[in-house]
Structure formats: structure tokens, C-alpha cells
Structure 1
Amino acid sequence: MQLLWTSWLTVAVLGFYIWIIYKVGHARTQFQVKAPATDGPPEFLRVLRVHANTVEQMVLFFPALWLCAIWAGDKLAAAMGLVWLVGRCMYAIGYYADASKRSKGFMISTLAAMALLLAAMTGMSGVLK
């Protein structure tokens, strides 16, 4: 079984993750917040929260993505994973600008992760019958 589309989507998500790690490092330098401190001006805290919340979301996203790919199809999983990635990008860009602008991206990515999980369970249920 080849899962090429899901594999490429995984690489793209990890690229996004590397970008937000870079943003935290850059913000530490810009706002002079030395490790291991996690407190600073609101601009720094927003960058840090984007990183932390994305890590929290990945705990649900990656298993749901791969279960969906295996049980419901590679292209479906990759397409819904792309929606998740777009939502996370919207979340990050919105949050970097102003905390009140994060909600739309958060909802898109959360709903996409839930859809991945639902598609995986639907695919699994066909095997269990």
C-alpha cells in the first residue's frame, strides 16, 4: 500500500512546524527572552502560544491523518490534512497579528482533524462488520 499523498502532506506539516519553531527562536532574540523563560511581551507570548497550541493539535492530527489514510484512502486523508494545514497557517498568521484573530483558523483545523478521525472510524467500521 502506497500512501504517497499523505506522506507528502506529512512533510508539508513538518515544514510548517519547523517554520513556527524558527518564529519562536526569532521572537526570543527580538524580544530578548532568554531560555528557559517563557514570559515576555504579548508579541512574544502570541508566537509561543502558536507553537504550543500547534504541538497540542498534532497529538490528535497525526494519528487521525494516518488512520484515515489507511482506512479511508490516501487522497482523502491528504486533502483533509491540507485543510488542517491551511487552518493552522490561518491560525498562526492571525494570532501573530492579534490574539482575537486566531479563532477562524483554530476552528478550521480542529474540524479538519475531527473529520479525519471520523473518516478513519467510518472506514474501520466497514471492516468490522
Structure 2
Amino acid sequence: GITLTGALLPDAPISDGVLPVRLAWTFDAPVTPQTIRFIKALDADGNPVTGLDTAPGAFQAGDALAERLDLDVTGISGALTVYVGWYTLPDAVRLPVLTEGVRGAADGWALLGTVEVGIP
């Protein structure tokens, strides 16, 4: 599987239009380039307002990945709840996300936390 071994969101409110998300993963099985990692930020009503879906590449069992991803939050204000997960193409089926030291995982996506963002 794919294990989320660490995640970091900013503690302070974001006002510069960029929400940095730091993630650390380990892979217990091979991952193909058609496997997509996603980050979604939802507003207080549960609507997706920004996100990022990318294929970080192929990985072998035992590999690790540490990454910083920047979400564009320009023009968005309020509390955003941030989730992360993986899915495969072309079927768009979510993969289980295992976590170590990271809160929750439900329906193939892990809750990273909530961040306040504001229009500068």
C-alpha cells in the first residue's frame, strides 16, 4: 500500500495566495506513473475550492517520497479543510491511504487538517 508517514500544514493563516503542503510517503508495493496523488481543499460547506492532481512518477516497494506542493488559494478566504489521497487511471478508483501519525483516513483520502486563508 501507500503510507502517509508525515504531513505539515501551516499553523498561521495564509494571506499570500499560496498554501504550502508538505507530505511524506512510503510505498509497500510498486506504483505506476498512472497513479495520481491528489490534494483537495474544501470550504466550510464541504465544496472543493482548490486542489492538485498530479502523477509524481513510478515507485518501487520500499521507496519513499518527501514533497512540498503549493495550492493556489488566490481569491479564497475562510477555513479550508485539506485532504490527500491517491487514485489510479483510467478507472479513477481511490487507493487505500495508510497513515502513521497522521489523523484519519476515510474513503481513500486522509484528513490533513484545517487552514485559515484570506484575501491579501
TM-score scaled by structure 2? 0.24
Larger radius of gyration: 1
Structure 1 length-normalised TM: 0.23
Higher helix share: 1
Structure with larger RCO (C-alpha < 8 A, sep 6+): 2
| Structure (1 or 2) with the greater strand fraction | 2
